[in-house]
Structure 1
Amino acid sequence: MQSQMCPDDMAWEQAEETSDMWLVQFLELDILRPIADFMLNHNRGIATEFAILRKGSYNISLRLKYRNGSTVIRLSQPGAVLFPEEKVVNEVAVMRFLTDQTSIPIPFVLQSGTKKESPLELSPFIIMDYVEHETKMYNALNTPGCLTEERGILDPNIDERRLELLYRQLADILLQLSTPSLPRIGSLSQIDDLTWKVARRPLSMNMNELVRLGGLPRSKLPDLYTTFNTSSSYIEALADLNIEHLIHQRNDSVQSADDCRRKFVARQLFRKLAKGKRLTNPCFEQGPFKIWCDDLRPANVLLNENMQIAGVVDWEFTYAVPAEFSYAPPWWLLIEKPELWSKGLEDWTSVFDNRLKTFLKVMKDCEDTAIHQGRLGQDQRLSGLMHESWESGDFWIMYATLHSFAFDAIYWQKIDPRFFGPIENPEEAWKERLNLLDENERDEMERLVARKLNEMNTRVLAWDPDDYTVAFRQQLKGEKTNEENSITG
C-alpha cells in the first residue's frame, strides 16, 4: 500500500502519557467522592452504586446508580481532546437538536458545563441519562473470538438474516440523520429551547487528530466562528489542511525526497480539483446541508437483549456538512477502515461492495416503510444516492477529506485515475503528473523537499495542545521534580 502519513510518534507518546496519567486519579476516593456528590446534587435520588463505566478514546464515563435508574457523567480527557470546551458545547447542542428533530434514541442531557464548573475543575463535562443495554452493535457484527485488543472486522460468516436485521437499524439511523436540512456548514449552537443556528466552525475528529498527532498548529484551522455557505469552499479548506499537514508534521511525514514529492503532488492536485469545483456536485453547492457525525459507528450503537437499538451515544464531532458526505455509504459496514485492512485496499473494496448490496437492500425497505408512514418523502431516499456515490467514486473523495492520515493511499489508487487517467504504478504516478503543476508549485515542492530532508530525524516536536493539556503536563512535571528532589534529598 502507498506510503501514508504516520502519526508523529513523539506527539502520540506525549498525548497518551498525558491522557493515561490524568485517568490514574480516578482510582482515588478523594477524586471519586466529589464527583458522586456533584452528580447527586443534580438528581436528589438515593444512590446505590458509583463506578467508572468506561474509558473511551476521548472521554471517561462514570455511572451513578439510583433505585429508579442511572445517570452518567462524561469528562473530556486532556491529551485526547484538544478542543474540550468547544467539543462539549457542540455535542450538547447537536444531541438536543437531534432529540427534537428525530426519533433516534439519544441519551437525555441533564446538565453540561465548563472545566471551571465541573467537580474539582477536572474537565468540561456532560451529565446524561444512562442507556440500559445488553451489548453493542460492534459486538454483534464482529468476528467471534476476536480479542479485545485486536482490531475488529465484520464476521465473514455472519448469517445473512442477522446481518440484515442489524444493517436495517443502522440504515434507519442514517435516514433520520439525513432528513434535517441546514443553511450553512459548521457546528450547531442552541439559541433557545426551540432554535438552533450554525454559528461555529465544523470541528471535526480529523482536525483534533491533526493537531494532536500531526504537528498542525491550531492557527491553521478555520477560525472558531468560521462557517461555510458552499460545498466547494469547505472541500477546498479541507484540501488546504492536508497541505498544511504535510508542511508542518515533522520527521515521520516523509521517508525520502521522492516520497515527499509524491505527497506534495497528490495534495496540490487534490486542491486544484477542489478549487475547480470538480470534487462536489453543483446541484448541492449551496445546500441544503446535512448533519454528519464523525464518530458514528457500530461501537457507539447500543443494543438490548433482542438485538434492537437501545441508544446511540458519543455525538462529539457532529456538524453540518455538504450533502455528498451523507450520500456516501458508511465505511464502517465492515467495521475496519479501508487503509487498515490487512489484505489491502482493493480487497477491502471488493468485500465492501458485496456487503453494500445487503445494506442498500435493507435501506430501501426502510425508505419504503418510512414513505408509507409519511415520515419520509420520495425525494429523501438515500439508497440510490449512496449507490451512485460508490459507483462514481465520490465515496473516496469524501473519505479522503475526512481522513488525512490515509489520504495518500486513497488519492493515488482511487481519486487520481478518475480525474487524470489510468496509471500503471501508483508509487511512480507522481512523475507523470508533474506537468500538471506550474513552475511556482514545482519550485515550492523542491523547497519543501530540501527542508524536509534537512530536518529528517533532527527537528524537535512543535506540539500545540490546548491550555488544559498544557497545564496538566506542567503539573505532572512539577510532581516528577518534587519526587526526584525528595529522593535525592
Structure 2
Amino acid sequence: MQTRMCPDDVAWEQAEETSDSWLVQFLEVDMLRPIADFILIHNRGEVTEFAILRKGSYNILLRLKYRNGATVIRLSQPGAVFFPEEKVVNEVAVMRYLADQTSIPVPFVIHSGTKKESPLQLSPFIIMEYIEHETKMYDALNTPGCPIEERGILDPNIAEDRLEMLYGQLADILLQLSMPSLPHIGSLNQIDDFTWKVARRPLSMNMNELVRLGGLPRSKLPDLHTTFNTASSYLEALAHLNIEHLIHQRNDAVESADDCRRKFVARKLFCKLAKDKRLTNPSLEKGPFKIWCDDLRPANVLLHENMQIVGVVDWEFTYAAPVEFSYAPPWWLLIEKPEYWSKGIEDWTRVFDYRLKTFLKVMKDCEDIAIQQGRLKEDQRLSGPMGQSWESGDFWVTYAVLHSFAFHTIYWQKIDSRFFGPTENPEEAWEERVSLLDEKEKYEMEQLVARKLKEMKTRALAWDPDEYTLAFRQQLTRQREEADE
C-alpha cells in the first residue's frame, strides 16, 4: 500500500528552483553588506562576524556577531513560504505571547517587517536575539552515526535515564503550551504590549504545503479573517480541504482509477464524520482552545552542552487549536513520522507505544511538580488525556487532519474500521464503503476519476504562488532570456 500521497512533482520542482535561485544571491558580498547595516540600525555593537547561519525549510538565517552576543535576521524564502507576510506577523505575535505567558525560552524579537521594509526589499523578516547553544534535541535523540542526509530515527539503544531526562524537558514545554486558554481557533494578533486576540485564520504548515505542493488554490483556504468557535467546525473545514486537495492536485495525485476512488471515498467519509461531530469530544467542543505549534519537534529545540533546553525556535505555524490537538501525544517521540517509517505504520505504532509509556511517565512527573508549585491544576494534566487519545485512536484523527499527504493511508489503516467496522483488507475496504455514499457523491466520484485519468496524460504546472514567489519567478525568467540573447 502506498504510504503517502505524493506531492505534485512539477510544482515541487518549480518551488525548489525558485527557492534555490533566490538563496544564491546571499553568496555575494554586495548583498550581505546592506543586510548587516540594516541589522546594526536596530542593535548597535562592535561587529566581529557576519555570515549565513543556515538555510531552513522556510527561511534563511544570517547571524551578526558582536563581542557581547549575536543577532539573527530571518528572511522568508520565495517558493517555500506562500503566505510570507501573514506568516511573519503570526510568528512575532505568538513569540511575544509565549514570552509573556510562559517560561518557554523563545528568542527575543527585536524588530520585524514587511518585504518593502526589509533590506533590499528581499522578503518579510524578523530580527531576533541569537540563542547560544551546543546542539539540538534532534541530535541528542537521533541514532548515533546516522548520516546527515538520511532521515533521523530515535536511537533504539538510548539509555532509559537519558531518554527520561530529554523527554522530561519536552514534556514541560508541551505542558506550558497547554496552560493558556483562548476563546477561538485561529492565529494571534497583538493588540498592544500586553494584549493578544485570536483575530485571523489558523495558518498551518499543512495549508502552506497544500498550496505549494498540492495544487490547492489559495482561495480554497479559510478567509484571512476567519476564526472558528467550535472544534467540529474547524475539523470539518480541514476535512473539506482534503477533498479540495484531491480535486485540484494536477500531478501525482492518483495512480489509477481505483486509487482515485479509494482516496475519494476516504475523504468523503471523513468529512461525514466531521460534519456529524463524531471526530471531536462534545465536552471540548467550545474550548477554551490551546496554543498549538505545527513545527514543534526536536530539531527546533536547542540544548546547552549539559543537555538542558536553552531555546525553542521556529514558531511560524502556531495558532489556537482544538484541545484534541494538545491531547494527542507528540508524533515526534520517534523523530520519524509514521508514513516514512521504513518498516511500515504498524511497526511504527508498536515502537511508539513502547516509547510513549516513558513519555507519559515523565509528563506525569512534570505535572506533579507543577501542581506542587501551584502552576497547574489537577484538571489541567496532559498525561491522562494523552494516554486516552492514543488508546482511543483520537491520536490518528488529529494526525490525519494535520498531514494531508499522509491522510488516505492513515484513514484506511487507523480510522475507517473504528467508525465503520472491521474489514478483511484495508486496501480494498473502499469497495465496501462506496455504499455509504449517496448517488450524487458516487456521480461526483466517477466524474473526478475521468478527469484524473485524463490529467495523467500530461504533466502541466498548476499552482497558485504568492505575489513574491511569482515576482521572483518572473525576474528569473527575464534574467535567463537576457542571458540567452
Using the size of structure 1 for normalisation, the TM-score is 0.99
Matches of 1:193 and 1:438 in 2, distance apart?
53
Contact 1:266/1:408 (CA < 8 Å) preserved in 2? yes
Secondary structure at the counterpart of residue 426 of structure 2: coil
- Looking at structure 1, the residues matched to 307 and 405 of structure 2 have their Cα atoms a distance apart, in angstroms, of 34
CA deviations on 1:32-89 (whole Å, 9 max, x unpaired) are 0000000111112111111111100000000001111100000000000000000000
Partner residue, 1:185: 185
Unaligned runs of 5+ in 1: none
Partners in 2 of 1:309 and 1:253 — Cα distance?
40
Decide whether the 8 Å contact of 1:251 with 1:457 is kept in 2: no
- Aligned residue number for residue 428 of structure 2: 428
* Counterpart residue identity of residue 332, structure 1: W
Please tell me whether the aligned partners of residues 2 and 427 of structure 1 are also in contact (alpha carbons under 8 angstroms). no
Distance 1:245 1:342 in 2: 26
Describe the superposition over 1:233-267 as per-residue Cα deviations: whole angstroms up to 9, x where unpaired: 00000000000000000131011111010000000
Q: Which amino acid aligns with 1:382?
A: L
The amino acid of 2:76's aligned partner reads S
Q: Which residue of 2 aligns with 1:81?
A: 81
Aligned partner of 2:263 in structure 1 is 263
The number of residue pairs the alignment matches comes to 485
- What aligned pairs does 1:80-99 form with structure 2 within 5 A after superposition? 80-99=80-99
The SS at the match of 1:252 is: coil
Whichever residue aligns with residue 325 of structure 1, its letter is: F
Partner of 1:161: 161
- 1:78 and 1:185 map into 2 onto residues whose CA distance is 27
How far residue 4 of structure 1 moved from its aligned partner, in angstroms, is: 3.1
**TM-superposed deviation, 1:424:** 1.1
2:113 matched residue in structure 1: 113
Q: Which residue of 1 aligns with 2:205?
A: 205
Answer yes or no: is the 8 Å Cα contact 2:3–2:406 preserved in 1. Answer: no
Alignment of 1:3-402 (within 5 A): 4-402=4-402
Paired residue for 2:403? Answer: 403
Q: Which amino acid aligns with 1:49?
A: E
Deviation at 1:459, TM superposition (A): 5.2
SS for the counterpart of 1:478 is helix
**Distance (Å, rounded) in 1 between the aligned partners of 2:3 and 2:162:** 37
In structure 2, give the amino acid aligned to 1:215. G
Distance 1:372 1:190 in 2: 32
Aligned residue number for residue 444 of structure 2: 444
Who is 2:453 aligned against? 453
Q: How far apart, CA to CA, are the structure 1 residues paired with 2:457 and 2:61?
A: 39
Residues 303-324 of structure 1: CA distance to partner in whole angstroms, max 9, x if unpaired?
0010000100000100000000
For the residues of structure 2 that align with 1:404 and 1:44, how far apart are their CA atoms? Answer: 45
**TM, length-normalised to structure 2:** 0.99
Q: Alpha-carbon deviations, 1:361-413, whole Å to 9, x = none?
A: 00000000010011111111000000000000000000000000000110000
Tell me by how many angstroms 1:3 deviates. Answer: 5.5
Distance 1:3 1:163, change over 3 A: closer
Measured in 1, the distance between the counterparts of 2:306 and 2:4 equals 42
**Mapped partners of 2:159, 2:423: distance in 1:** 39
Read off the aligned partner of 1:40 and give its amino acid letter: L
Higher mean C-alpha deviation, range 22-31 or range 454-463: 454-463
> C-alpha separation between the residues in 1 aligned to 2:238 and 2:195?
29
Letter in 1 for 2:185: I
CA distance in 1, matches of 2:455, 2:72: 47
Quote the sequence identity (%): 82
Q: Deviations over 1:245-303 (max 9, x none)?
A: 00000131011111010000000000000000000000010110000000000000000
Contact 1:2 1:408 in 2 (8 A): no
Task: Give the C-alpha shift of residue 220 in structure 1.
Answer: 0.4
CA contact (8 A) 1:81 1:208 kept: yes
SS in structure 1 of the partner of residue 126 of structure 2 = strand
Distance in 1 (alpha carbons) for counterparts of 2:300 and 2:238: 26
Gapped regions of structure 2 (runs ≥ 5)? none
Q: Is the 8 A contact 1:134 1:303 kept in 2?
A: yes
Instruction: State the 1:10 CA deviation.
Output: 0.6
Give, in whole Å, the separation in 2 of the partners of 1:84 and 1:233: 26
For 1:321 and 1:117, the matched residues in 2 are separated by 31
- In 1, the alpha carbon distance for the partners of 2:305 and 2:326 equals 30
Distance in structure 2 (CA, Å) of the matches to 1:152 and 1:459? 32
Residues of 2 paired with 1:399 and 1:157: CA distance?
A: 27
Partner of 1:464: 464
In terms of mean alpha carbon deviation, does 128-137 or 37-46 score higher?
A: 37-46
Tell me how far apart the structure 2 counterparts of residues 184 and 111 of structure 1 sit (CA, whole Å): 27
Structure 2: distance between partners of 1:461 and 1:71: 39
AA aligned to 1:113 is G
Conservation of the 8 A alpha-carbon contact between 2:201 and 2:225: yes
Deviation, structure 1 residue 462:
1.5
Aligned to 2:302, what secondary structure does the other structure show?
A: strand
What is the Cα deviation at residue 457 of structure 1?
Answer: 2.9
Measured in 2, the distance between the counterparts of 1:129 and 1:412 equals 45
In structure 1, how many angstroms separate the alpha carbons of the residues matched to 2:301 and 2:173?
A: 10
2:252 partner SS: helix
Q: Distance in 1 between matches of 2:287 and 2:210?
A: 27
Are the equivalent residues in 2 in contact too, given 1:2–1:426 (CA < 8 A)?
no
Deviations 1:140-182 (A, max 9, x none): 0000000110000000000111000000000000000000000
- Cα distance per residue 1:394-437 (max 9 Å; x no partner): 00000000000000110000000100011111111001111110
Q: Please state how far the C-alpha of 1:460 moved relative to its aligned partner.
A: 1.7
Distance apart, 1:463 and its partner CA: 1.2
Q: Counterpart amino acid of 1:73?
A: I
Aligned-partner residue type, residue 371 of structure 1:
I
CA contact (8 A) 2:4 2:339 kept: no
SS in 1 for 2:470: helix
